[in-house]
Structure 1
Amino acid sequence: MTLDLVIRQARIDGHTLPMDIGIAGSHIAAIAPRIDSPAPERAAGGQLLIRGFTDSHLHLDKACLMDRAANPAGTLAGAIAAVSAAKRDFTEADVYARGARVLDMAIGQGTNLVRTQVEIDPTIGLAGFRAVRRLKADYAWGIDLQICVFPQEGLLNLPGTEALLRQALSEGADLLGGCPYTDSDPAGQIALLFDMARDIDVDLDFHLDFDLDPSWRHLDEVARQTVARGWQGRVAVGHVTKLSALPPDRLAESFALLADAGIALTVLPATDLFITGRAHDHNVPRGLAPAHRAQDCGVCATIATNNVLNPFTPFGDGSLSRMANLYANVCQLGSEADLDRAFRMVTDAPAALLGRAPAIAEGAPADLVLLPARNGAEAVATIARPLWGLKAGRPSFDHPAPRLHPPG
């Protein structure tokens, strides 16, 4: 067998001892304790090799807006209003440039698969979608993008939005999203989106229940429609911060509802923490759904970035190890098993949600990232920044460890 590259002595899932990985072309050709080959080598030094991080919910089209969109109150309504005003001046070139900045960050942080949420409405039209579609093509060397188009500011209350969504799906969008809490008819939006999803045969991903009032929610209607339409395993919901306000018995019932309907749950720690609880001047609630508990009920649960440097989240560097660490801090996860669980919520679980097998195995694409850690728990605890990555067997980034210069 002729190999193009051999990675020496990497820790990988399923193997007790470090292994060599042989790469031929764009795929993994061999995994063994020792591979004899004259091919070029990359040393892993017994550190953790993964298929890369997966970001299951990231807004590229409205990233990097701090120079033009302010949200002094820090509220959800303020963020939506600020972006809505700024969006009037968005161009395809502008969205492309800001999205590219975030993709550069993400690739350097070891992310090589993303589901990106793109706003569609009569104000922006298809300019944002077409910019992100170009990013998907131009950045395929380093990252795979799955495009979810959705109506951030409503659907039934904005005539013309449905036609634009359908057009975006006909032009290459991968799935359809929703945001019922901004619509004049939330239940009507949910029903229409399920109609469209069945018409076009695409998955659904909802922004849902983004506040701390547990007296009402749209989760139940999404679950009901999911089962009624036979869309189990094809629906995800993001935020759902209301879950953080539920007592244990109602929380367990909600997770059972998600599991029975086959709905995945994505939490967005940076945004959920920044936006929620603004009405409290003391004893401020965390407002972050304990998604790791949903896993115990059989729910696919993921942690994702959401926004970077905009009115919803005025910070961010694209690091999913940092996001997993933030989640672990807020949810008070400290054991090795729990930290590993948080790690898998930015690797295995979102990869499965987006349809990618996470295992490093012979025959799999050589999309690989080396972390300066022995295992996932250590990567989360130390907010490990990746050392290097490959996409389809080709180097995609390098970030060598710092060289220290002590006296003498």
Structure 2
Amino acid sequence: MPPPELSKRVTSIQGVNLTGSSSTWDINIEYDSGSPHGTISSITPHESSSHDKAQAPLALPALTHPHIHLDKAYVHNAPNYGHLLPCTGTFSEALSFTTKAKQNFTYPDVLKRGEWLLAESVSSGVTAMRAFVEVDHTVQLTCLDAAVTLKDQWKEACHIQIACFAQDPVFSSEHGEENRRLIEGALGDYEQIDVLGTTPYVESSAEASKQNIEWAIESALKFHKHVDFHLDYNLDPAKEPLIWHVLHVLRERCWTSRSTQKRVMLGHCTRLTLLSEEEWQEISRLIHENDLPVSFVGLPTSDLYMAAPVGETSPHQKARGTLRVPDMIRNHELDATIGINNVGNAFTPWGSADPLFLACVGVGVYQAGAQDNASLLYECVSTRARAAIGLSSDASSPTLRVGGDSDFILFHDRDDTGCGVSRPRTSVAEVVWDPPQRTSRSVVANGRVQTVNMGDDSMYKFE
């Protein structure tokens, strides 16, 4: 499956709507010599008649996956894994079934399912992603090799940031040392790896989990990578949250001074929903006072499906938990975002790869129905997500700006019902509350438009 066909480089997109403006605008793009990446050089008023405003597409920043598993995507859609469909829907079953599925992973298989994920994502408007691929004694380097191929093949349409991921223990079990050796070898041999990811909670003891954290931080510093933890994925008040150890080790190992441009991501963290307000204030204080480049990523579709308290007997008491991302941002000035995590596997059998679906779900999950909440949720799958994985320094509002990169989406007023009726989306809130179909989106990546849905090419000027 080839990447989408892209146009020539665009120098101007004319007659678009921007958030918070009653006028239409032209977006002008310049390219530095020798660089494929464009920059918005100016945004100027569009010379048009008054009725053009209603027909003009809404231009917003492109979408980003800050946390998604490439190698485990759409396992449920591949016939050879039909015997591993969920039966109980529990976390332990998901771990067990995924372990069994991995025994059948092959390079062509991972490549095919990875292409499915990329096609779904890129057509939605995703132009950057942090993609996790596992390296361990079961799959060896199979998933990583497939990710390297996809990173190169799809580079014009999407920046794929590869996260070399330890899903299995690296300090527990009979294979811990081998898993650790394989990952360290990959970090040294593959320049395409951007991130080291681990899962401390799969270790057999709290002490081994802390060893996992210490090893991951020191290895990321050694190989100059971002580090990304799947952390505190439980709702057990008796379990010590490992975030305190992560922050302690980052400070002790002088992460900020030793790794000036690399970031730290903490994913899931459902246990933190049980913390007191004072504990949240302490987390914020430790991060800000030590200038730690820490971001949190809530993963609602997985968290709400998987994370449940242990030991409950009543079906009416099955509480769920996921990070309250808007509150973290507004009340504690923490850097936080939301991500898809998994699609089409035992960890998350529901949902799509479209980040706007996730933003829409967030309206209900976070009881965030106001228009400014919609803008924040869009940022969380767009500008904030991109900044959190280290690809941008601008996590501000979902408004295109001079100096910004040339990755964005145009939301058109198109009939996607087949009834000859179209309904426009003229604001960020309308896009988040009820995301339009992919056929209503024109996606611009590095200043080039996906030709499949680009629409009227007279609004574009090309080199």
Q: What amino acid maps onto 1:62 in structure 2?
A: K
Q: Which residue of 2 aligns with 1:404?
A: none
Q: How does 1:4-83 map to 2 (within 5 A)?
A: 4-12=10-18, 17-23=23-29, 27=38, 28-34=40-46, 45-66=55-76, 67=79, 68=81, 69-83=84-98
CA drift at 1:254: 3.8
Q: How does 1:166-185 map to 2 (within 5 A)?
A: 166-169=184-187, 170-171=189-190, 172-184=192-204, 185=208
Q: Which residue of 2 aligns with 1:246?
A: 275
Q: Distance in 1 between matches of 2:104 and 2:227?
A: 28
CA drift at 1:135: 0.7
Assess, with a 3 A threshold, how the Cα gap between structure 1 residues 143 and 239 changes in structure 2: closer, same or farther: same
Consecutive unaligned residues in structure 2, runs of 5 or more: 1-8, 32-36, 257-261, 413-424, 456-463
Contact 2:63–2:128 (CA under 8 A) maintained in structure 1: yes
TM-score (norm 2): 0.79
Q: Distance in 2 between matches of 1:12 and 1:144?
A: 25
Q: What amino acid maps onto 2:236 in structure 1?
A: D
Q: Which residue of 2 aligns with 1:282?
A: 316
Q: Which residue of 2 aligns with 1:391?
A: 445
Q: What amino acid maps onto 2:234 in structure 1?
A: D
Q: Which has a greater percent of helix?
A: 2
Assess, with a 3 A threshold, how the Cα gap between structure 1 residues 337 and 361 changes in structure 2: closer, same or farther: closer
Assess, with a 3 A threshold, how the Cα gap between structure 1 residues 251 and 29 changes in structure 2: closer, same or farther: closer
CA drift at 1:257: 4.2
Q: Which residue of 1 aligns with 2:458?
A: none
CA drift at 1:5: 4.8
RMSD: 2.6
Q: Distance in 2 between matches of 1:85 and 1:292?
A: 37
Contact 1:119–1:149 (CA under 8 A) maintained in structure 2: yes
Q: Distance in 2 between matches of 1:341 and 1:199?
A: 35
Q: What amino acid maps onto 1:244 in structure 2?
A: T
Contact 2:443–2:454 (CA under 8 A) maintained in structure 1: no
Contact 1:255–1:294 (CA under 8 A) maintained in structure 2: no
Q: Which residue of 1 aligns with 2:147?
A: 132
Q: Which residue of 2 aligns with 1:190?
A: 213
Assess, with a 3 A threshold, how the Cα gap between structure 1 residues 93 and 187 changes in structure 2: closer, same or farther: same
CA drift at 1:311: 0.4
CA drift at 1:75: 2.0
CA drift at 1:72: 2.0
Q: Which residue of 1 aligns with 2:421?
A: none
Assess, with a 3 A threshold, how the Cα gap between structure 1 residues 146 and 241 changes in structure 2: closer, same or farther: same
Quick check: 1:200 aligned with 2:235? no
Assess, with a 3 A threshold, how the Cα gap between structure 1 residues 291 and 258 changes in structure 2: closer, same or farther: farther
Q: How does 1:356-375 map to 2 (within 5 A)?
A: 356-357=392-393, 360-362=400-402, 364-372=404-412, 373-375=425-427
Q: Which residue of 1 aligns with 2:138?
A: 123
Assess, with a 3 A threshold, how the Cα gap between structure 1 residues 262 and 357 changes in structure 2: closer, same or farther: closer
1:100 is paired with a residue whose SS is helix
Most deviating of 249-258 and 78-87: 249-258
Quick check: 1:100 aligned with 2:115? yes
1:160 is paired with a residue whose SS is helix
Q: Which residue of 2 aligns with 1:334?
A: 369
Tell me the alpha carbon deviations over residues 19-72 of structure 1, each in whole angstroms, 9 at most, x when there is no partner. Answer: 111345652444211379xxxxxx994442123001100001011111513332
Q: What amino acid maps onto 2:62 in structure 1?
A: G
Q: Distance in 1 between matches of 2:135 and 2:89?
A: 24
Quick check: 1:229 aligned with 2:250? no
Q: Distance in 2 between matches of 1:376 and 1:357?
A: 22
Identity in percent: 27
Assess, with a 3 A threshold, how the Cα gap between structure 1 residues 294 and 317 changes in structure 2: closer, same or farther: same
> How many residues of Structure 1 are paired with residues of Structure 2 in the alignment?
394
Most deviating of 291-300 and 171-180: 291-300
TM-score (norm 1): 0.89
Q: Distance in 1 between matches of 2:280 and 2:219?
A: 30
CA drift at 1:227: 1.4
Tell me the alpha carbon deviations over residues 65-100 of structure 1, each in whole angstroms, 9 at most, x when there is no partner. Answer: 115133322222211111111101111111110011
Q: How does 1:263-342 map to 2 (within 5 A)?
A: 263-277=294-308, 280=312, 281-296=315-330, 297-342=332-377
Assess, with a 3 A threshold, how the Cα gap between structure 1 residues 228 and 45 changes in structure 2: closer, same or farther: farther
Assess, with a 3 A threshold, how the Cα gap between structure 1 residues 13 and 300 changes in structure 2: closer, same or farther: farther
Q: Distance in 2 between matches of 1:23 and 1:263?
A: 32
Contact 1:21–1:35 (CA under 8 A) maintained in structure 2: no
1:153 pairs with 162, 168, 171, which one?
168
Q: Which residue of 2 aligns with 1:218?
A: 242
CA drift at 1:350: 0.9
Q: Which residue of 2 aligns with 1:162?
A: 180
1:307 is paired with a residue whose SS is coil
1:140 is paired with a residue whose SS is coil
Q: Distance in 2 between matches of 1:195 and 1:357?
A: 25
CA drift at 1:306: 0.2
CA drift at 1:259: 4.5
Q: Distance in 2 between matches of 1:224 and 1:333?
A: 33
Q: How does 1:105-116 map to 2 (within 5 A)?
A: 105-116=120-131
CA drift at 1:357: 5.0
Most deviating of 343-352 and 154-163: 154-163
Q: Distance in 2 between matches of 1:234 and 1:278?
A: 31
Tell me the alpha carbon deviations over residues 284-315 of structure 1, each in whole angstroms, 9 at most, x when there is no partner. Answer: 32311102111122211111000010000012
